[in-house]
Amino acid sequence: MESARVKKRSSNACQRCRRQKIKCSGTQPCDTCSKRKQSCTFDNREQKILVTRGFLEDLQRKVALLERGDEEEVFTPRSHSIEHDVARLDGGEHIPPQADNQWDQNLENREDLTNPLSASPSTFMTASTGRTFYLGTSSTWSFSRKVLSMAHEHLYHSPLPTASLLFDGCAYDLGWDGARTTVYPEIPVAPTPDYSIYLINAVKFHAGQLFHLFDEAEFMENLHIFYDNPEQHIAANPLWYIHYLLILAFGKAFVVQKNYQHRPPGSGFFIKALQLLPDSTCLSRHPINAAEILCCIALYLQSLDNRNSAHNFIGQAMRIALAQGMHTDMPAAQLGEDVVERCRRIWWTIYILDRQMTSLMGLPQSIQDDQLYHGLPSFSGSPQKVIAVAMQIKMCQIIAEINSSEWSTHLFSSGLLIVLAVYGPDGRLNRKFLLRTKTALSSTTNLAHELQNSFDLQLDGSSVSGVSRLGAHLHLLYHQCMVLATRPLLICFLQIRFHSPESCVESLNSSANVRKLLQVCVDSAQHMLNILTCLHEQSLLDTFLPFDLDSTFVSAVILSIASFTDPSLVDDRTAWLQKTNIILDEMISRGNLIADFRKSELGQLTRMLSQVSPDRHFDIDNPPKLKPPGVNPTRPSSPFASNNYGVVDGVTALPMLDYGLTTAEIMAAAESIDTGDVDWIAHAVTENQIW
């Protein structure tokens, strides 16, 4: 059977077999020449091979450099792959038409080129309590820890001490260890009906614009029944009572901004709700109410920096919703319009919270978008809320795909959205690293026009209506997408700055496109601080929900790193640090203990960076005195009324939102990324030997 099998013709024949046009075995010597005891000579010069145009252009470039005598410039990551390909061609291997992917494969095989935020092996950090935590790739929390660790190890050649750092669930003491054996039987005293309504309205304003936490009609109907006969209603409807306690906990946290013994206001209601919460068997019998309750618990825990627990509860809500079919096209004719509308509101709240919490944890996503029905709730009479939900979903999709390790395609009601992974599980800094950044930026920037049209913040003082709290949240989320996509590049240059301070700026300036990407990251951080400062001016800064604090902290870290890496990337870093200080101090004064820890960590970072560069001052705790610029120091109608810096209450005002890169410039920066930039960053990394 073996002899009957047709053998593949050799692509490499000896000269004698070619002349006689007979089959050649391709061995040295070949079978035919061995039988006839003839000399066997191979000449590969006439062999036809298939190569790409790029391969030939790189060979021509190398020859031109050698002719000019620039031998040092000949060896680049690209030329290394050329020499590898030449060796393969000399060996007679056929290059397939897909050979234009060879450079991708060569870079992917270079294990020393990594994204420091997702490099393998994965990163863990042990708290002073002995508990070890995983530092996820895209996590804002782990991002700052990795930067702190890099700076500390560079300065002191030892691991970062963790005694003064904040770890999951350590900011507040809720007075309960979670054990059922320590459940207290006392029922907390319910507020008066009018005060309850006041607290519920506070929850609607602060959280209800972003998420669906309760169905207002059903909830308020039960509220009135409850006050008619509290004990009877608790016994008859225990899940509603648990839900009521959670809403009271949120309301107290929003309106009473002072801590007592390291406990947030209303935490007693929250703990009693957890103590009364039944197991999943009971919850699954009431999926709609259970899903709303679990969303409340997850969001509250996230606000207390209990990220792991929050992620677990939103995951439980996700599974209950999936089992109920909330992710599908639920038939209104069978289930009722009201039920379908409520389920859609619940589903997208779960989806948004799950995506955001998973990203903050730096973990893989739990569900793929191509498995979902993308019908939105109608929000009768509130078209802005429909747009807001749609935009949150789109940005959460972008965040998820930036964090993803694979290409993915998403179908959404507004069209086809394709975004690529910037963070991968192996952390390799390959060709796709920049190309994925390019696509992620393009996808995010495509939302800018819709965001500006629907939620124009008008921070330039042209409107008397003030800043929309919902619009501000969406703009902050938009810029977080920008930062998430570009900050791995900033960390690359931070490592270059530590390793080769004398050549960092020169390396950075040698690629205009890469530098522009860094400016995109810096500008988004500045935009976030602008928005937060305006919210602070109008007393709209949220000090309980985690979103404003997260935006403040990540912006300050980005600007500190950028100032240290290249001072020209950030105009007047002292003004930005002062504004960060003001925002954090406001949150601290209103009882946010997490903000106190974040300010401490930021102080550690800025002091260490100052030690590395004594000629530049970075200390957030003791910023230098500002010299008033040559403008009128009187208070303008808005702190962002012009592109110039002014002095507001003794503090330098920041430029308005339009300061910096425009949307068109960001798009141009993304579209301008090409093969040369990919080659350049790979060369910069290997030249500085930072990995």
Reduced to 3 states (helix: H, G, I; strand: E, B; else coil), residue 58 is helix
Whether the link from the prior residue into 639 is cis, omega within 30° of 0, is no
Distance CA 214, CA 244 (A): 9
The answer on pLDDT for 518 being more than 50 is yes
Most confident of 149-158, 174-183, 492-501: 149-158
Instruction: pLDDT band for 492, please (50, 70, 90 cuts).
Output: confident
Helix axes 573-589, 593-612, angle to 10 degrees: 150
DSSP helix/strand/coil, 586: helix
Average pLDDT of the chain, as a whole number: 76
Q: What is the pLDDT of residue 680?
A: 61
- Cβ atoms 402, 461 nearer than 8 A: no
Closest alpha carbon to 577 in 599, 593, 549:
599
**Which residue's structure tokens are 């939900």?**
389
What DSSP string runs through 539-570?
T---SSSSHHHHHHHHHHHHHHHHHHH-GGGS
CATH number for the domain whose boundaries are 1-48: 4.10.240
Would you list the DSSP string of 259-309?
-BTTB-TTHHHHHHHHHH---HHHHTTSHHHHHHHHHHHHHHHHHTT-HHH
CA distances from 251 to 195, 267, 268, 553, 642 (A): 10, 11, 12, 25, 38
466 secondary structure, DSSP code: -
Instruction: Please give the share of the chain, as a percent, with pLDDT higher than 70.
Output: 69
Assess whether pLDDT exceeds 80 at residue 93.
Answer: no
Distances (CA, A) of 329 to 200, 325, 347, 415, 597: 31, 8, 12, 18, 45
- Count of CB atoms situated within 10 Å of the CB of 161: 11
pLDDT band for position 54 (50/70/90)? low
pLDDT tier at 617 (50, 70, 90 boundaries)?
low
* Residue whose token pair is 């390396």: 507
Tokens of 203: 């929850």
Q: Which helix (H) or strand (E) holds 419?
A: strand 415-419
489 and 518 Cβ atoms separated by less than 8 Å = yes
358 close to 400: Cβ distance less than 8 angstroms = yes
Residue 413 reports pLDDT greater than 80: no
Q: Which amino acid is at 324?
A: Q
d(CA 176, CA 184): 9
Q: Which two tokens stand for residue 143?
A: 């991002």
* Residue 130, phi-psi category: left (phi > 0), alpha (psi -120 to 50), beta (remainder): left
With bands split at pLDDT 50, 70 and 90, how would you rate the model's confidence at 127?
confident
pLDDT tens across 372-382, in order? 998 999 988 88
Strands 415-419 and 408-412: what pairing? Answer: antiparallel
Give mean pLDDT, residues 370-399.
89
Cα(139)–Cα(568) distance, integer angstroms: 27
Least confident stretch, 102-111, 146-155, 279-288, 359-368: 102-111
Candidate from 81-85, 286-290, 381-385, 439-443 with smallest mean pLDDT: 81-85
Nearest to 618 by CA among 601, 599, 603, 634: 603
How far is residue 530's CA from residue 580's CA, in Å, rounded to a whole number? Answer: 10
Q: What is the 3-state secondary structure (H, E, C) of 590-636?
A: CCCHHHHHHHHHHHHHHHHHHHHCCCCCCCCCCCCCCCCCCCCCCCC
Token output for 239:
């899940």
Per-residue model confidence (pLDDT) at position 420: 35
**Which H, E and C letters describe 207-221, residue by residue?**
CCCCCCCCCHHHHHH
Q: How far is CA 60 from the centre of its chain?
A: 41
pLDDT for residue 333 is more than 90: yes
pLDDT the model gives residue 565: 87
**541's tokens:** 């800064």
What residues pair up with 416 in beta bridges, in sequence order?
411
CA distance 73 to 62: 9
Give the pLDDT confidence score for residue 655 in this predicted structure: 38
Span 161-175, pLDDT tens digits? 887 777 777 888 888
- Which among 52-61, 338-347, 570-579, 645-654 has the top mean pLDDT? 338-347
Structure confidence at residue 94 as a pLDDT band (50, 70, 90) = very low
DSSP letter, residue 519: H
**How many whole angstroms separate alpha carbon 632 and alpha carbon 659?**
19
Flag whether pLDDT at 340 surpasses 60.
Answer: yes
Q: What are the residue boundaries of the structural domains of the chain, listed by start?
A: 1-48, 53-108
Q: Which two tokens stand for residue 574?
A: 């002292």
With the C-alpha atoms ordered 439, 443, 445, 446, is the resulting torsion angle positive or negative? positive
Q: At what angle do helices 593-612 and 547-565 cross, to 10 degrees?
A: 0
Report d(CA 572, CA 215) in Å as an integer. 48
With H, G, I as helix, E, B as strand and everything else as coil, classify residue 102. Answer: helix
Report the distance separating Cα 189 and Cα 230, nearest Å.
11
| Angle (deg, nearest 10), helices 547-565 and 469-499 | 30
Q: How confident is the model at residue 233 (pLDDT cuts 50, 70, 90)?
A: very high
Interatomic CA distance for residues 90 and 487, integer angstroms: 42
How confident is the model at residue 234, as a pLDDT?
92
